[in-house]
Amino acid sequence: MIFFVLFTATLNLGFGFAAALVVRRLTTPAPSPLVVSPPETFLPDLDHVDSLHHPSRVQQPLSSVAKANSEDIPGEYLAILTAEAVETQGLVEAAAQVLRLEVGRYRNNLIEIENRLRDLWYQPTEEALQEICDELDALNTGWLETQEIAAEHLNDSQSNLGAYAEVANRLSEVLLSQTAQIETTISNLRNLDLSFDLDNHCRKLVLEICRLIDLAHDLRDKMQETLVTVLRAERRLTDLDPSVKDDSLTGLPSRTGIEAVLFQWWREDIRRERLVSVALVDIDHFRKVNERLGTENGDKALAAFGRLVAELVTRDRGYEVVSRFSGQQLLIFFGDTGPREATSSMERIRQTLRQTTFVHEGDEFELTVSAGVTEIKPNDTASQLFSRALTSLRAAKKNGRNITVLDEGAGPQLITPPDYQVRGRVVKVAD
User: What's the pLDDT tens digit per position in 372-422?
Assistant: 999 999 999 999 999 999 999 999 999 999 999 999 989 999 999 899 999
Q: Give the per-residue pLDDT at 314.
A: 67
Contact between 172 and 148 under an 8 Å Cβ cutoff? The reply is no
d(Cα 226, Cα 44) in Å, to the nearest integer?
Answer: 10
d(Cα 82, Cα 334) in Å, to the nearest integer?
Answer: 37
Residue 344 pLDDT exceeds 90: yes
Q: Which amino acid is at 181?
A: Q
Residue 156 pLDDT exceeds 90: no
Which of 179, 182, 155 is CA-nearest to residue 169? 155
Average pLDDT rounded to a whole number, residues 359-378: 95
Average pLDDT rounded to a whole number, residues 316-338: 90
Residue 19 pLDDT exceeds 70: no
When pLDDT is cut at 50, 70 and 90, the band that residue 71 belongs to is low
Which of 356, 371, 244 is CA-nearest to residue 304? 356
User: How many CA atoms are closer than 13 Å to the CA of 349, on its beta-carbon side?
Assistant: 31
Contact between 398 and 36 under an 8 Å Cβ cutoff? The reply is yes
Q: Which amino acid is at 239?
A: D
Instruction: Find the length of the chain.
Output: 431
Residue 41 pLDDT exceeds 70: no
Please give the biggest Cα pair distance in the chain. 107
Residue 64 pLDDT exceeds 90: no
Q: Give the per-residue pLDDT at 54.
A: 40
Q: Give the per-residue pLDDT at 23.
A: 34
Average pLDDT rounded to a whole number, residues 341-364: 95
Average pLDDT rounded to a whole number, residues 71-84: 88
When pLDDT is cut at 50, 70 and 90, the band that residue 83 belongs to is very high
Which of 186, 238, 244 is CA-nearest to residue 215? 186
Contact between 371 and 391 under an 8 Å Cβ cutoff? The reply is no
Contact between 394 and 37 under an 8 Å Cβ cutoff? The reply is yes
115 contact partners, CB below 8 Å, separation of at least 6: 294, 296
pTM above 0.75, yes or no: yes
d(Cα 374, Cα 362) in Å, to the nearest integer?
Answer: 38
Contacts 24+ apart (CB under 8 A), 363-368: 363/292, 363/293, 365/289, 365/292, 365/293, 365/301, 367/283, 367/284, 367/286, 367/289, 367/301, 367/305, 368/283, 368/284, 368/401, 368/402
Strand order in the sheet with 329-335: 319-326, 329-335, 276-283, 369-375, 404-407, 412-414
